[in-house]
Amino acid sequence: MVAPGPKFANKTDVSPEKSRGEIERLVTKYGATKFVSGWEQAGAAVLFEMKGRRIRFSLPMPTPDDRVFKRDGAGRSRNAAQQRAAYEQAIRSSWRALVLVIKAKLEAVESGITTFETEFLAHIVLPGGGTVGEWAVPQIAAAYENGVSLPPLLPGGQG
């Protein structure tokens, strides 16, 4: 679950549907040849194909009964309508953050700061259906746990 009440766009009134549409228009503008999105209460997903790769962003969602929605920032109890409003705000904020992430990645590629494969690496869908990130994260954690030595941060440096 995503931490409810994200700080980015925490006052947005842009609906999740409008954000999904914005993502679709954005990836199409940058060359996507396919696009699909879907959601359920636990989360949402946006998938698109671009540059011969299938990309998937998963967007976890808070649950309406999460206790963070029961109290406001000052610790005062919220009534049912206020709780629902806080929950819906968290959903809108999460979608706006996803728009920002995808837009920034596409712009970084377009500007030549990075390559498409490098920027979207963790979100590339592998033949088995998982993403590179889902595959690599446990392997990276295991490498650190097993004491694999890392190269120096700076050339010629020591660790």
153 in a structural domain? no
157 in a structural domain? no
Instruction: Give the pair of three-digit tokens for residue 10.
Output: 């925490």
3-class DSSP assignment, residue 47:
strand
62 in a structural domain? yes
- 27-76 pLDDT, tens digit per residue, is 999 999 999 999 998 899 999 999 999 999 999 998 888 888 988 888 89
56 in a structural domain? yes
Per-residue 3-state assignment (H helix, E strand, C coil) for 53-94: EEEEEEEECCCCCCHHHCECCCCCECCHHHHHHHHHHHHHHH
10 in a structural domain? no
3 in a structural domain? no
- 112-150 pLDDT, tens digit per residue, is 999 999 999 999 999 999 999 999 999 889 888 887 777
Per the structure, the complete domain to which residue 95 belongs is given by 16-145
What pLDDT score was predicted for residue 5? 47
Domain count, the chain: 1
Phi then psi for residue 46, to 5 deg, are -125, 125
